[in-house]
Chains A and B, each alone.
Chain A
C-alpha cells in the first residue's frame, strides 16, 4: 500500500504531530502510515482523508499484490 499523506500534509501545511492530534492518533502511527507499513482501520483512513480534504482512495493507494486473487474484478 502506498499513501499520499506526506504530499497532502505538505499541501495543507500540517505537521505529523498536528495531523495525529486531529485524527486522535499517535505521531508514530502517522509515520508508519506514511511509510505504508500500517494498514489503518476504515475509520482512521476516513478521518485522515477528511483532514486532508481528499477521498480515501486518493490518499491510500492499494496495489495489486495487496489483494488476494479472488477479490480482483472480472476485468482484471
Chain B
C-alpha cells in the first residue's frame, strides 16, 4: 500500500506509544494514571492523525507553501491571544477573588491556545490567503 513516509512514521510511533501504555497498564500496576492516560492519548492522537491524513491526502502533498503560511500566521495570532489571555488571568487573580489552581490555569491556557489555533487556521484556510 502506497503511503507517505510521514504517515508511516505516525502509525509506527503511535502504535509503539500505545503498546508502551498497555505494557505499563498490565505489568506495572503502580504506574500513575496520568502517565498511562497521557501515553494513550498521545498514541491514539498520533495514530488517528496518520490514518486521517492518509485517507484524506493519500500520497499527495499534505502541506504546501500556502498551508505553511497559514499555519505560521495561525500560530502567531493564537500565541498573541493566549499571551493577552494570560495577562487578563493574572489581573483577575490580582484584583478579584478569582482563585485558580495551577492545573486549572494550565488547562484553560492550553484550551485557549489550541482552540484559537484551530479557529484561525480554519478562517485563513477558508479565506485562501493570510
Q: Do A and B bind each other?
A: yes
Binding site for B on A (CB under 8 A): 17, 20-21, 24-29, 32, 35, 37-41, 43-44
Chain B: interface residue count, which band?
Answer: 10 to 19
Smallest CB separation, B28 vs chain A (Å): 44
Binding site for A on B (CB under 8 A): 57, 60-67, 125, 127-129
The docked-state distance in angstroms from the alpha carbon of A25 to that of B65 is 8
The docked-state distance in angstroms from the alpha carbon of A24 to that of B59 is 11
Check if B66 sits within 8 Å of A38, measured CB to CB: yes
The docked-state distance in angstroms from the alpha carbon of A46 to that of B29 is 60
Check if B129 sits within 8 Å of A24, measured CB to CB: no
Smallest CB separation, B101 vs chain A (Å): 42
Smallest CB separation, B29 vs chain A (Å): 47
Check if A26 sits within 8 Å of B129, measured CB to CB: no
